[in-house]
Amino acid sequence: MNTMNTEIKRKNIDLPVNTWQKLSFMAISQGKSLKAYIEQILISKADSIKIEVNENPSPSGDKWFDDIENIKSIAKGMNELKENKGKEYTIDEIKTSLGL
């Protein structure tokens, strides 16, 4: 366990006696303290978990935003606007240009 560059948080945990006994036995069989053994288990489990962030900005969960190409297109358009390479249109301007 590399803790030199890792921030450490402390947390007391409550375990049923039979769980404590089993974990203690496993720790002893590996030549570790109970604390070190439990930390090893938790760190290993946490490292194996894949966390994904849903980038869908739609509050209603619109599937259109699940398509990565659509998200890239939005990002490209926003970057073009920031670089003054595009033009913003109001809804009324869009309707007028479409003859609606």
Instruction: Report CA 53 to chain centroid distance, whole Å.
Output: 4
Is 29 within a domain?
yes
Identify the domain containing residue 40 by its residue range.
1-51
Is 40 within a domain?
yes
Q: Which of 30, 34, 29 is nearest to 17 (CA)?
A: 34
Q: How many domains does the chain have?
A: 2
Is 27 found in the same domain as 4? yes
Question: pLDDT per position in the chain (100 positions), as tens?
Answer: 554 567 888 889 999 999 999 999 999 999 999 999 999 999 999 999 988 776 677 878 788 888 889 989 999 988 998 898 878 889 999 999 999 9
